[in-house]
A and B are shown apart, each in its own frame.
Chain A
């Protein structure tokens, strides 16, 4: 970990935000009860809870159980020192979260549900109805719970990146440009009639091409930055990207 932290301080520009990613804050703290670690872990959980919900549902838990369970899992995760078990050198948040959930399901859920559960933890505001509606749209297939978790993870991550990118463009008053050009992010450049888009937005064809190029560049940065938030060192970003690509194309 020491070595990788040194790496972080010397990463190339453009990836400057890697130095203090959320997951490294949590890992560095080595525990979840410092305020910074809590905030960082909280934000991560807020973003990536749906893959867990889908996992739990696929395991056959009822809707109500899955809601309670996901909620309680997060409460426990924040409150308890689960982090002691993470292999700091190569702990990815994605793997850590799933491993913790499995541990929770196997060892704690039965016990805790037998208890009277008053108080009600509301750490992560799960929108239960949305979760269930989303889950019902899941393909009826033979995917295992692990696979559905990884797939949902990858999709959530993409969703988050595109959402943030769109907000960025919208803040500059370029939401329309983003909407028009986002399809170029899939590599289908020829699918975009640049001239036509230019006319619509009052730009020259050349300017649209440049904008598309910039969007792709910015998207790559944002995607890598988001992945970096969930891994322990910048060196792992590439590997995680390849893994998630394999998950989505498999």
Chain B
């Protein structure tokens, strides 16, 4: 509530509306609700059952963690309580106990131990080891760790995660904040807050809920594909942690949750060595293998990851192989399909052009050859520049419109120097119209269609006036120009249908 109602009893205020003019103000209201507009403000909880609350350590999506002293055992523990009525539904209570149960089963030196699970005054809680020290996120704090140290932490954590996997528990929310470094410089995993018992039939998270922190979330989690979540999901998160330790930033971080999730699903992480060249190539290879989009390309288990990191630490050759040239090309092309197709097409046509020159069909390597070479080079360089422009302005229409218009102009220039309206390369116009539809913009589609038709008619007129040997008959060029419009129209129908389909899925 804002200050305007502060201090006023809300039920009395509502009652006032019921009162008639004559009795206004004389009404006394039986008001027994003690939850006023500012519940609990200013009152600090000091004791909780057997626990004396010392300080609040952290707050997460579901719970708040206190440092607390357990009075009867006189030991300091971390007490996790569930925030305001989070467990309102039975499913929530169940999830809480699942969480605690999963963690309590895991007795491992690198996993924070659970002591007690219970309920006090209607509030569910559990207590666990209190680990004095920083978590990995604090430890990084904007400064990369030396690769050896980073690898050592992740290697230990990966072993502990594998231990949990063998007992049927996935963590599903591994992130630097969930790895504490104790006083012996040993990492300990905490907050199995989203742990899922793999063989638990009453799966609470089957409904496609997206859980976890998006920056460290595996693509299959971000996509809500829970059928695909498994040990490799934690392997991905371990890779994301290693990445952050190496370069002091997570693999993907965007201003909004949704944007981050989109990057997680679609973009390739920037190689750590591009940020800090000092990172050993082997660690980078290991890290990027964990961050592969396809689970089958990651390490098959956390133990395999731990083993490879161990090899690196001992100076032995690692098993992971950096992606080959073809892999990298493939990845590069998938991120920039328009540029890749443009360059590939230019290369193919130019090669063919060179062959023709060689066998002499095109005559001598005179002006036309140099014109084509210059044109292809300009086209290629401009395509790279347009790609950069669109990458920097991802949602803007202008770069895309300019790019498309530019391609029509380049094709027309080529035809103008070549066989004009008689060239077989006129097929380039329908190709550009078809490609424009791939941008899912109806406006762009029309722009390319109209520009193509206009350019074609321009070529026809130019031929009729200056190169009568290339002139085409009226009926031929009308048919071609009309076909361009029909193609544009068909593509537009296709786009509309796609849009309708994607809307109905919503």
Contacts and interface: CB of A to CB of B under 8 A. Distances in A.
Interface of A: 58-65, 68, 76, 108, 110-118, 120, 135-145, 148, 154-155, 158-159, 162-163, 166, 182-189, 212-213, 216-217, 219-220, 223-224, 227, 238, 241-242, 244-245, 248-250
Given A217-B24, A223-B14, 4 more contacts: A63-B61, A138-B84, A185-B13, A187-B25
B5 A137 contact: no
B11 A115 contact: no
Contacts, number: 175
Contacts of A110: 207-209, 224
B13 A186 contact: yes
B30 interface: yes
A143 B337 CA distance: 53
B85 A138 contact: yes
B62 A62 contact: yes
Interface string B199-220: 0000000011111000000000
Instruction: Enumerate the 5 nearest inter-chain pairs by beta-carbon distance, A residue then B residue, closest first.
Output: A186-B12, A62-B61, A248-B11, A139-B39, A223-B17
A158 B506 contact: no
B30 A249 contact: yes
A118 B13 CA distance: 44
B88 A58 contact: yes
Contact of A140 (B30, B85, B209): B85
Contact of B4 (A111, A115, A163, A188): A163
Interface of B: 1-2, 4-5, 7-19, 21, 24-33, 35, 37-41, 61-62, 83-89, 91-92, 95, 122-123, 207-211, 223-224, 256-258, 262, 265, 395, 502, 505-506
A155 B31 CA distance: 15
Contact of B8 (A61, A143, A182, A220): A182
7 contacts: A62-B61, A68-B257, A118-B262, A184-B25, A216-B25, A217-B21, A241-B14
Interface of A is mostly: helix
Nearest to B122: A142
B27 A187 contact: yes
Interface of B is mostly: loop
Contacts of A213: 24-25
B35 A139 contact: yes
B90 to A, nearest CB: 11
A6 to B, nearest CB: 25
A185 B8 contact: yes
A96 B158 CA distance: 50
Which of B21, B35, B506 gathers the greatest number of chain A CB atoms within 10 Å? B506
A62 B35 contact: no
A187 B29 contact: yes
B213 to A, nearest CB: 9
Given A113-B208, A139-B40, A216-B25, A158 B85 contact: no
Nearest to A67: B257
A224 B17 contact: yes
Contact of A220 (B16, B37, B86, B223): B16
Contact of A137 (B4, B8, B41, B209): B41
Nearest to A166: B4
A68 B258 contact: yes
A64 B29 CA distance: 40
Nearest to B38: A137
Nearest to A164: B4
Given A114-B208, A116-B262, A217-B21, A137 B40 contact: yes
A143 B61 contact: no
Contacts of B91: 60
